[in-house]
């Protein structure tokens, strides 16, 4: 289902965040640099990673998936 949403130009996230079930799909819509930036911002506010560790920004994606993702295609809305 997530792959179909992305293929149609959609996203896996919404107003309420990513959720644990969708973490593994983050590298399908964000490149390694973007995921690293998200993690860096999070670390500014939670340097000891005490608040919901491993949530929102998948730890494996920031370290292992760098360069293995493709950005979602952008389309203008009619």
pLDDT of residue 18: 77
Beta bridge partners of 14: 17
- Per-residue pLDDT of 29-75, as tens digits, reads 888 899 889 889 989 999 988 887 777 665 554 444 455 556 677 77
* Mean pLDDT, residues 17-33: 83
pTM, two decimals, is 0.58
Residue the block writes with tokens 């996203």:
11
DSSP 8-state class, residue 1: -
Dist CA 62 CA 4 (whole Å) = 23
In angstroms, the CA 67 to CA 25 distance is: 15
Kindly report the backbone phi and psi dihedral angles of residue 13, in degrees, each rounded to the nearest multiple of 5, phi listed first: -110, 170
Report helix, strand or coil for 2: helix
């Amino acid at each position: 289902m997530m792959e179909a949403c992305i293929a149609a130009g959609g996203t896996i996230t919404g107003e309420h965040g990513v959720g644990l079930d969708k973490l593994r799909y983050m590298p399908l819509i964000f490149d390694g640099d973007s995921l690293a930036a998200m993690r860096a911002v999070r670390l500014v506010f939670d340097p000891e990673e005490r608040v919901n560790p491993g949530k929102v920004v998948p730890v494996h994606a920031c370290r292992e998936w760098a360069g293995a993702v493709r950005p979602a295609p952008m389309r203008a809305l009619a």
